[in-house]
Every structure is written in C-alpha cells, then in structure tokens.
Structure 1
Amino acid sequence: MTRVHGGFANRMYRLDTDQGSFAVKELNLADRRWTYRVADVFRFERAAFAAGIPMPEPISADEHTLVHRWVEGEKQPEEPVPAAYAFEIGEILARLHALDVAWPHASNEEPAARDWPELAARAAATGQPWADELASHVETFLAIARFVDTCERPGPVVLTHSDVQPWNLLVREGRPVLLDWELSGMLDLSGELGSTALSLAKGPGFDDIRPAVFRSVLDGYVSGGGTLPPSGPSWFAFMIGGWLGHTRWNILRCLAGVEASTGPELALSQESALNGVRGLPVLFARLPELEALLV
C-alpha cells in the first residue's frame, strides 16, 4: 500500500492489486470527535451508490478500516466552482435526501465547548505559534459557541453526507465525485445546504464569494426535486459549529505536542488550528452578509 497524505481526520492508502485499485482508510480511533456508525454509514453508502450517486464504490467497512474502489480524478481546488458543477451538486443532494434509508440515530451535533479561556491559557504556556491570536479572540469564540447552541433550526432533518466540501470532492471529466462519507447522519436541511453552497462559492478565505455559484447549488437542489427551507442564520450554524469543533480538536492535538499514530500529522493540526483561530472570527462577523446570499 502507498500512503496518500493530506487527510484532515484519518489516514489514507492506495492499494493496487490484480483485482483493481482501492482506497484503504485507516480510521483514527485514538481521539475521535464523534461516534462513527460504521455499519449504518456503509449501508447508506451502498444505497447511494446503487441509486447512481457519483461516488467511489463502497467495498467493505469495519471499526478500523474502510475500503472503496479507487476513483481516478482531479482534486477539487478550494476555489469557486463552475456554476454547472455547483448545480449538479445541488441535484445530487436532492437525490440523496430522497433515498429511503433507515437511520436509527439522532443528529451528530453536540453542544459547543466553552473551555476557550482554558485553551488560550494552555496555548500561551506551551508557546503555541497562534497563542496570542487565540487569547485575543476568546470572547468571540464563546459568542460563536452560544450562537451554535441557540440558533433555531427550522427543519426538516434529512439523512445526508453532511460534509460536502472541496476537499471531499473529485473532478472527473468536469463532473463531481463525492468522497468521504464518515460524517453521514441526520442534519437540518438548511445547515447542509448553507455549508455546501458557501464552501463551493468561495476560495480559502471570504474575500471572494460568488453569489451566482451559491445560488446554483440551490437551483440544482430545486431542479432535483428538493424544497428549500426558510432563510435565516441556521443555514450557516452547522458550518460554523463544525469548524469550531474541528479547530478545538486540532488545538488539543497541538497542546499534546506529540505526533499521534493515527489521524493528521502534527504539522497539519498546527495549520488547521491556525486557520480556525484566524478564520472563525472573520466568518462569524460576516454572518449578516452571508444571510444576504439567501435573499
């Protein structure tokens, strides 16, 4: 097997055999942020693949390892996608949400942590390169946590992929292929659509958001038979909460100061922590501007 670097949560390998090539994912069991529903996610993936959702064929899954058939394609850059590509993603989500698959679990979302003052103090004590920036934004991070926990979700709740981001997409002959289904579960529809549309309509920061691309995702969803939920801040609460939890998780890995045997390398956790410390306050401050995309 050949290691494929760059995973934000787990470790990936390519296995070439006389029966074809496979993506073998070693799950991080040491410090997971959520309970991974192996059997249920695999069943959902099989149903999606059978329904023609563009994705790698799921081969096998157990508590340690996931295996999919390898798909050749180009990585989707973190930049605004073409409108036609965004439209197709919307259609894919509508088809996915229409699948009749039983899911015996509630939402993956958990209350946002409130230990940001303690994390800032530990970061300063251990000399983290982003310690001063975190300390200056502690009150903002506490406000973000309150927003995530109190923002009203209008529903409906759908069974979905939950993480349609550029780094979970391939481009094959100009069309999308949806990867990395581990976060699949029940999610408020507005949170799924807002997170997906915004991630595909912007670059790494928030200086170049393309409203036309954002709307193309929603137009594709309606074209695929979906119904849009009411406008409001809930469209972005899931994205903000997910990034908040991901940032905290990487901060804890950095504070431990050791190279873990599973999950992302320490250098990647440092990069993710810094991106979150700098980017989350910017995203939160621009929430009214983002809501204007829904009008």
Structure 2
Amino acid sequence: MNLTQAAERLGLGQLLDAPLLLKDDEQSPVWKAVTDSGSWVVKIAQPWGDFWMPMAAQAGALEAAAWESGVAMPEPQSTTLGEAGLWRPIGDGAYARAVRFVEGAHPTAPTSEPLAAWAGGLVADLARCAIPADPTVHGDYRSNSQEEWEEWFAQAERLEVLSAEHVRILKLSLEQAEAMIEDQQDLWRSKVVMHRDIRHQNILTGSGGPVLLDFDAAGAQDPWWELVFTAFHLAGFGRRLELPERRIVQACLSGYVAAGGAVGAVDESAFTGMFAGRVGAATWQLWMACGHRGGSREYQAGFAQTLRESVNAMAMMLKAMPTWATWLKA
C-alpha cells in the first residue's frame, strides 16, 4: 500500500518528510504524513467483501455531521461523502482517508470524572446528529446458524485458538445476546448511527482539550446503549478484566443528562448494545484467528489472544450486569 500514492489521490500535497508509521496493522496501516498542506493521519485499507462499502458510508455520514455540528475531533480532510463515506479509492482495490494530526496523549482508564462527563455530553451530541441506520447494512451484531457456530467452535479448538472452557462461555454469551436482542426488538430496529467505540484509546487530550478519534467502527446503536458502553469503558472495564469504577460511570451519566441525552431503561437491558457488540466483535476475532480473512501467522495469533481476552470479559459481564445496572439509577 503506497502512502505517496494515497497522499496524491487524497489531495494532501507533496510529502515533506519520511512518513511515520503510527499503527503497524497488516490489513489497515495508519501513518503520520507531513505535507505542504500540513500534518495528517492517513489510514489505508483493503476492503474485504461487499459489506465494507455500506459500513464505511454510514460511518462517514456520522463523522461529517459530527464535524459540521462542532464536535471536538480532528478535522477530516474532506466532508464530501462518496460511496465509501470519507474513504477514497487509491488504486489496486485499496482505499485511504485522512484527518488533521492532533498533538496529544491518550488518557488512562479509569479516566478522570471531568473527562467522563465530557464524553457523556459527547454521546448526547452525536445522537443529535440523528443519522438513520440502514437496517440492510451488516455492520452490527447478526445471528449465524447453529451449524456455522459448531463448525467454527470445532475449528477453534482444533487450532488451539479456544479452550473447551472458552467455547462454553462463548456459547452462553451467544445465548444471552440473542435473548437480550429478542427482548429489545423495538430499540434494536430503531437505532441511529453512533460512534460505538468511545474508549480512552480513542480520546486524545492536549492543550486544546479532549478530542474524539476514529469513527471507523461507527454504525447502528441506540444512544442510551452507547452511553452505557462509553461509561463502563472509561470507568476501566476492558478485555483484561479491570473492575470499573462506579464514580466514573456516574460522572459520564451526569454529563450525558446535562447535555440533554435521553435516559433509557436502568436495568440489565441497558447493556444490550454493549454485550451484543462484544459478542459480534468476538465473532470477527474468531474468523481472523482461524485464518478466515487471511493474514500472517503472527497476525492471526494476535487475534487469538484478543479473542480469549474478549471471552473472559464476556464471562465477567454475565456475572456483573445485575450489579452494574444499579449504578445507572441516578
């Protein structure tokens, strides 16, 4: 994937310095490029299948609307939407996009209460963009047949990607996600496009205040479910089984309410989007770890480790959701 070609196709101008690789991802590298038009973060991707294009289009629609409404975020190189949203074809089937480089550092989780409150307000701001989610876009959790799952589980055990205990937990998680979705069909069908990945890794704090990064996972989500995901991740919950801090959850909730965010059910159903999203992500990780989407052995091994961490986190959620739900009652 040629960064010089990407910069030219995006209209960024001439490269002035050697580019800096910010994220060494085999499938989707991220670069810092200094050109005669400024400093840019450039992403390059090789889409897999027809599903990628409409997903990218939805994500781009939210990012463009968020920028135009004044959300604190890096400036996109362009807000003109194409068939792949803000991504542009650069040849050989690859796509690229760019945002202004912002100097800063990622906060650690659990974050501070003021930052959590800021993020809660941000969720309300993104909800007001009111980008309707396309129900035909497969960028969300979706069911797979029992036969498919049994085949994938057998393959995962054979390749030593998952242990028998991990498979047992993942099966329980699938059943729980399906039950939660079935119980929340009205909300599930009426979702708007949200960021879906507001974590400390996607926030940058600098002299100008915090900014939100990386809209590439944006897709269908209920705003209240987005708030719950955001609050618990900023409070410290992640794949490594950190215990979230209640005060951070409630600071995020306060910021959301103060910004006019609509509060939903304050019971276990509030975790529907968060839990189903985690199961959906684990499905992708399973495919990657088992080689369904290519990549080197090292790349697949990285996904295998991430998958096992995800399954452990799902086990923790299954136990903790009844207690966590009480934290949402202001």
> TM-score category by the smaller chain?
0.7 to 0.9
Segments of structure 1 that go 5 or more residues without pairing to the other structure are none
Q: What is the aligned counterpart of 2:105 among 69, 74, 90?
A: 74
Cα displacement (A) at 1:207: 4.7
Equivalences for 1:60-99 in 2 at 5 Å? 60=78, 61-62=87-88, 64-77=95-108, 79-99=109-129
Q: What is the aligned counterpart of 1:29 among 17, 22, 47?
A: 47
2:192 is the counterpart of 1:166: no
Query: Could you say if the C-alpha distance between residues 147 and 40 of structure 1 is closer, same or farther in structure 2, counting changes exceeding 3 Å?
Result: closer
Query: Could you say if the C-alpha distance between residues 31 and 215 of structure 1 is closer, same or farther in structure 2, counting changes exceeding 3 Å?
Result: farther
Cα displacement (A) at 1:269: 1.1
Count of residue correspondences: 290
Query: Could you say if the C-alpha distance between residues 291 and 191 of structure 1 is closer, same or farther in structure 2, counting changes exceeding 3 Å?
Result: same
2:163 is the counterpart of 1:137: no
Summarize deviations over 1:47-98 as a string: whole Å, max 9, x none: 3223221111111422511211111111233x21100000111112222222
Q: Are 1:201 and 1:213, in contact at CA under 8 Å, matched by a contact in 2?
A: yes
Aligned to 1:105: 134
Q: What is the aligned counterpart of 2:69 among 41, 45, 51?
A: 51
TM-score normalized by structure 2? Answer: 0.77
CA RMSD of aligned residues (A): 2.9
Q: Distance in 2 between matches of 1:8 and 1:208?
A: 32
Query: 3-state SS of the aligned residue for 1:48?
Result: helix
Aligned to 1:183: 217
Summarize deviations over 1:230-257 as a string: whole Å, max 9, x none: 3222321111111112112112212128
Aligned to 2:9: none
Q: What is the aligned counterpart of 2:282 among 244, 247, 265?
A: 247
Q: Distance in 2 between matches of 1:35 and 1:244?
A: 22
Q: Distance in 2 between matches of 1:120 and 1:180?
A: 31
Cα displacement (A) at 1:222: 1.4
Q: Distance in 2 between matches of 1:42 and 1:258?
A: 24
Query: Could you say if the C-alpha distance between residues 109 and 206 of structure 1 is closer, same or farther in structure 2, counting changes exceeding 3 Å?
Result: same
- Aligned-pair identity in percent equals 24
2:228 is the counterpart of 1:194: yes
TM-score normalized by structure 1? Answer: 0.85
Bigger Cα displacement from structure 2, 176-185 vs 33-42? 33-42
Tell me which amino acid in the other structure corresponds to 2:287. Answer: L
Cα displacement (A) at 1:153: 5.7
Aligned to 1:221: 256
2:282 is the counterpart of 1:256: no
Q: Are 2:58 and 2:193, in contact at CA under 8 Å, matched by a contact in 1?
A: no
Bigger Cα displacement from structure 2, 169-178 vs 33-42? 33-42
Cα displacement (A) at 1:206: 4.5
Q: Are 1:190 and 1:234, in contact at CA under 8 Å, matched by a contact in 2?
A: no
Query: 3-state SS of the aligned residue for 2:221?
Result: strand
Query: 3-state SS of the aligned residue for 1:141?
Result: helix
Q: Are 1:41 and 1:182, in contact at CA under 8 Å, matched by a contact in 2?
A: yes
Q: What is the aligned counterpart of 1:124 among 145, 149, 157?
A: 157
Q: Are 1:89 and 1:220, in contact at CA under 8 Å, matched by a contact in 2?
A: yes
Query: Could you say if the C-alpha distance between residues 236 and 8 of structure 1 is closer, same or farther in structure 2, counting changes exceeding 3 Å?
Result: farther
Q: Distance in 1 between matches of 2:26 and 2:122?
A: 24
Q: Distance in 2 between matches of 1:116 and 1:104?
A: 27
Query: 3-state SS of the aligned residue for 2:327?
Result: helix
Q: Are 2:257 and 2:263, in contact at CA under 8 Å, matched by a contact in 1?
A: yes
